[in-house]
Structure 1
Amino acid sequence: MGNRRLRKMGRKVAISFLIGSLATFLAPSVRAEKPEHLQRIKQTRNCFKCNLKKANLANISLKGAFLRETNLQEANLEGADLRFAVLRKVNLKKANLKNADLTGAILRDVNLDDAILTGATLPPRYQRRSKSDSKVRVPELIIDILKQQRR
């Protein structure tokens, strides 16, 4: 009788695991960005207080874009063209900016904590001597800028 009970429990556990796995696999992917904000930035290149968290904006052209108080946390901006863009109070925490071009961009009150900047072209005041780091934190950038200004 003990073996029979164990087999029943084993089947229940296996069925529960299978149902849980299928539910996870078939569930729609979690998206944080608002579709209307994503459409707006693609059409107008302007976004005020937009939520684009975790948005996929890889290889997008946002040349001369105006982004203010926009949340781009964990967004994929790999290869994005952000030349001469104005980014004010933008959250780029953990964003992927790999190979993005920010030449001439204006960055004010931008959160770059743990952003991936490998191969990114940054405005002169944000460039670092060491290109070996793939992650750059804003406090380190500020320290570097202050050191350069003292020279």
Structure 2
Amino acid sequence: MKRNILAIAMLLIPTGWAVPSDAANPEHVRQVIETRFCIGCDLSEADLSGVDLRGANLGGSDLYEANLQDVDLSGANLTDAHLDSTDLRRANLKGVILEWANLEGANLSGANLSSVNLEWTNLGKTNLSGANLRRATLNDFDMDSLNLCGATMPDGSISTVGCEE
């Protein structure tokens, strides 16, 4: 009986190493909103939806699982940024610098990626349905891992890749 109580107690005691905290640094969130400049910042899981970040410099920043829905990032520098699993639905990314950025598993449905160079960007398992990719530069990637259904491709054609038949 004592062992059962001890085992249950051990399960209920919170441990600092069991669940790491990946939440954004509040000071970094304030800095990016106020100055649009935050190189190498921890913005993971931050809610920046609808924020005007035109021309922001977020190079090398961690935006893992951040909410960037409807954000205007046009002309921003996101070189080497970690945007994996980030929500960028309907975001304006026109002319953004995304070299060496990680967008694996990101949701970019309905986003504007016109004139963006995606040559050195990780796009694995990315949702680009309905995205605008006009005049974008794309690298060689596995199209099977992307949802491009309804996306406007660089040549102006509409993609059917990822559309269910």
- TM-score, length-normalised on structure 2? 0.60
Larger Rg: 1
C-alpha distance after superposition, 1:63-104 (max 9, x if no partner) = 000111100000000000001111111000000000000111
Q: Distance in 1 between matches of 2:126 and 2:82?
A: 18
Q: Structure 2 residue aligned with 1:135, among 123, 127, 132? A: 127
Higher strand fraction: Structure 1 or Structure 2? 1
CA contact (8 A) 1:79 1:100 kept: yes
CA contact (8 A) 2:52 2:72 kept: yes
Unpaired stretches in structure 2, ≥5 consecutive residues = 1-11, 13-20, 119-124, 129-137, 142-153, 155-165
Runs of 4+ in 1 over 2 A off after TM superposition: 123-127
| Paired letter, 1:123 | S
Q: Structure 1 residue aligned with 2:66, among 56, 75, 94? A: 75
Offset of 1:36 from its aligned partner?
0.4
Identity %: 36
**1:25 aligns to what?**
none
Residue 98, structure 1, aligned to residue 89, structure 2: yes
SS at match of 1:78: coil
Offset of 1:31 from its aligned partner?
6.5
Distance of aligned partners of 1:31 and 1:107 in 2 relative to their CA distance in 1, 3 Å threshold: closer
SS at match of 1:83: coil
Unpaired stretches in structure 1, ≥5 consecutive residues = 1-19, 21-29, 128-132
CA contact (8 A) 2:87 2:106 kept: yes
**1:46 aligns to what?**
37
Higher helix fraction: Structure 1 or Structure 2? 1
Q: Distance in 2 between matches of 1:31 and 1:89?
A: 19
| Paired letter, 2:46 | A
CA contact (8 A) 1:118 1:134 kept: no
| Paired letter, 2:43 | L
Q: Structure 2 residue aligned with 1:116, among 81, 101, 107? A: 107
